[in-house]
Amino acid sequence: MKEEVIKKEKKPGESSQSTLRRRSFLKYSVATTAGVALILTGCKDDDDPGTNNNTTDTVDLGSGDPGILNYAYALEQLEAAFYISVVSHSAFTTTFTAAEQAILTDIRDHEITHREFLKAALADKAIKDLEVDFTSIDFSKRDAVLGAARTFEDLGVAAYNGAGNLLSDGNLLLVAGKIVSVEARHAAAIRDLINPKSTDFAGDTVVDANGLDGAKTPTEVLTAASAFVKTKITFNNLPNS
């Protein structure tokens, strides 16, 4: 699995800068994958519904720390699928400038890495692949794509911020922090594409008077995300405090 993750990230024709950045991120994530996997193995969650209760149309995120990681994994699946749709759309190269294409492609690669990282960490506790539904998004329209991207990134930031205190293992919290900061970079970049050189990159609608980003509960996040996911996600066993 680790080898696969690495191979997925090496693409011909990449600038040395982005390759380097991605490589150092991977060096970190591959190293911690083993650690996270060990942590998960050590969890007492034999009664975790996990993947066992999954039917064709429904997945249950499970309980404890693996449940929270599955929650993150579900969101990363959604984000990765979205950006894959963006970049692979026939209008991509005509809708976006070269610089914008580079940014969106970079974000896609990060989301794929996040998805694969969480999948590897969860191992046999990982939920199955979600079936997504992006029919409401017109991928040939710049505004529609960037607007949806902003929604996904803002939601991702709020989701991680709202899940951190639900994790019991401090090492997992550290990893979640390293992911949420990347999501916030994405959110800032997308917001700047929508309204360049404005204060929207960290606008007052997302950053409060204390200079803090928002946080949403799994219920709020999954309700918002459900518009884009066909697979029914149940999460009754997630920790809630």
User: Quick one: which segment of 111-119, 124-132, 161-169, 202-210 binds other proteins (CB under 8 A)?
Assistant: 202-210
Figure out which of the listed residues 71, 201, 228, 235 binds other proteins, where binding follows CB under 8 A. Answer: 201
Cβ proximity of 113 and 26 under 8 Å: yes
In order, the DSSP letters of 93-137 are: HHHS-HHHHHHHHHHHHHHHHHHHHHHHHHGGG---PPPB--TTS
Extract long-range pairs of 6-14: CB within 8 Å, 24+ residues apart: 6/30, 8/112, 8/113, 8/116, 9/109, 9/112, 9/113, 11/109
Joined tokens for residue 146? 């960037």
Q: Tell me phi and psi for residue 50, to 5 degrees.
A: 40, -135
Q: Which of residues 83-122 bind other proteins (CB under 8 A)?
A: 99
Figure out which of the listed residues 3, 135, 136, 197 binds other proteins, where binding follows CB under 8 A. Answer: 197
Which of 13/196 has CB closer to other proteins? Answer: 196
Angle at 64 between CA 235 and CA 35, to 5 degrees: 125
Q: Does 178 bind other proteins (CB under 8 A)?
A: yes
How many Cα atoms within 13 Å fall on the side-chain side of residue 125? Answer: 30
Q: Is 19 helix (H, G, I), strand (E, B) or coil?
A: helix
Q: Does 58 bind other proteins (CB under 8 A)?
A: no
* Pairwise CA distance, residues 173 & 68, whole Å: 11
Closest approach of other proteins to the CB of residue 209, in Å: 6
User: Quick one: which segment of 110-118, 125-133, 194-202, 215-223 binds other proteins (CB under 8 A)?
Assistant: 194-202
Figure out which of the listed residues 12, 124, 211, 241 binds other proteins, where binding follows CB under 8 A. Answer: 211
Figure out which of the listed residues 189, 194, 215, 224 binds other proteins, where binding follows CB under 8 A. Answer: 189
How many residues bind other proteins, per CB under 8 A?
20
Closest approach of other proteins to the CB of residue 198, in Å: 7
Which of 126/184 has CB closer to other proteins? Answer: 184
Closest approach of other proteins to the CB of residue 37, in Å: 21
* Pairwise CA distance, residues 37 & 114, whole Å: 15
Q: For other proteins, what does the binding mask look like between residues 126 and 165, x meaning CB under 8 A?
A: ----------------------------------------
Can you count the helices (H) and strands (E) in the chain?
A: 8, 2
Closest approach of other proteins to the CB of residue 153, in Å: 13
Q: Does 42 bind other proteins (CB under 8 A)?
A: no
* Pairwise CA distance, residues 147 & 189, whole Å: 12
Q: By the criterion CB under 8 A, which residues form the site for other proteins?
A: 99, 170, 174, 178, 185, 188-189, 192, 196-199, 201-203, 207, 209-212
